Amino acid sequence: MGSYLRYLSENSTELIFYAQQHFLLVGYSVGLASVISLALALVLHTNQLTPPSWRRSLRVGGRETSLLLASAALTIPSLALFGILQPLLGLGVTPSIVALTLYGIYPVLRNTLAGLSSVDPAVLEAARGVGMGPVRRMLRVQLPLAWPVIMSGIRVAVLIVISIAVVAAIINGPGFGKPLQDGLARLGAVNSFNEVITGTLGCLVVAAGYEIVFVVVRRLTTPRGLRV
């Protein structure tokens, strides 16, 4: 225990740097995943370009297809995905973010679609009846009402991506993956076990950081009428 604390204090600069990297890596990936999922869901719901008779089938078809693809992406073993992306995108940050974004899409997309379709049809009919167009209806009514559900999807994505992010170390990605993998590779050597513990605990610290962020964001963005 004492030696571990000494290890922490001796390497504190490096560890704080890992924590920052890990936090940002997760933030960028989930952020990108959220933007992609939201854009996809909004386009499917507010689409006015196609003939009216297509819209329903296009929306349902688009929803099922995108969910299928996103869930397929989530099932690819993370080790393999990083390996596959390496020849295409090289090493380092870019392929790490791309891979983690792919993993983040499914939970966000799933909750976004569920949240949007859980809005009371009577409320949407009233919105139509008072003369709101599809875009206004989405931005003023449907999206605010679905927001708490979408937020919880983003939160799940963050938790998943935090733990998968350590695998990014195999392609020289940033974050706590590096001490973890270093430690595992030289298990038995000096400080190797401390590195493994640090990588693991580091993920928990990052997760705790995000929990705080979510409490604040939820407080600020949930419409008052929806707070229980």
Partner 1 sequence: MSETVQSPIDSTHRSGQRPMIALEGVSKTYPKQSKPAVAELNLQVPEGAIVTLIGPSGCGKTTILKMMNRLIEPTTGRILLAGEDVTDVNADQLRRRIGYVIQQVGLFPHLTIGDNIAVVPKMLGWDKRRVTSRVDELLHLVGMEPDDFRDRYPRQLSGGQQQRVGVARGLAADPPVMLMDEPFGAIDPITRERLQDEFLEVQRQVAKTICFVTHDLSEAVKLGDRIAVFAARGRLAQYDTPSEVLAHPADDFVTEFVGSGAAVRRLSLLEISRLELEEIVISGARAAGQDHPVLSVDGAGHPSTWQHVPGSDQPPALVTVPLSGTVYDAVDVMLDRRAPVVVVVDDDGLPRGALRWETLVADLRTKGQPR
> Binding pattern to partner 1, positions 142-181, x when CB under 8 A?
--xx------------------------------------
Following CA atoms 55, 57, 59, 63 in sequence, which dihedral angle do they give, to the nearest 10 degrees?
-170
- Select the residue interacting with partner 1 from 75, 129, 219, 220 (CB under 8 A): 129
Q: Where are the alpha helices (DSSP H) in 90-176?
A: 93-117, 121-129, 134-136, 143-164
> Shortest distance, CB of residue 18 to partner 1, whole angstroms?
40
**Per rule CB under 8 A, count of chain residues that contact partner 1:** 22
* Span from 77-85, 128-136, 166-174, 187-195 in contact with partner 1 (CB under 8 A): 128-136
* Span from 18-26, 97-105, 122-130, 151-159 in contact with partner 1 (CB under 8 A): 122-130
* Span from 5-13, 108-116, 126-134, 212-220 in contact with partner 1 (CB under 8 A): 126-134
Report the candidate in 53, 55, 98, 47 with the shortest Cα–Cα distance to residue 73: 98
Q: How far is CA 139 from the centre of its chain?
A: 22
DSSP label at 140?
Answer: I
Q: How many residues does the chain have?
A: 228
> Shortest distance, CB of residue 217 to partner 1, whole angstroms?
17
Separation between Cα atoms, residue 98 and residue 114, nearest integer Å: 25
Q: Which is nearer to partner 1, 98 or 124 (CB)?
A: 124
> Binding pattern to partner 1, positions 39-58, x when CB under 8 A?
--------------x-----
CB 32 within 8 A of CB 97: yes
DSSP label at 174?
Answer: S
Report the candidate in 156, 211, 216, 209 with the shortest Cα–Cα distance to residue 20: 209
Residue type, 69: L
> Shortest distance, CB of residue 144 to partner 1, whole angstroms?
5
- Select the residue interacting with partner 1 from 1, 49, 122, 190 (CB under 8 A): 122
Site residues (vs partner 1, CB under 8 A): 53, 120, 122-133, 136, 141, 144-145, 223-226
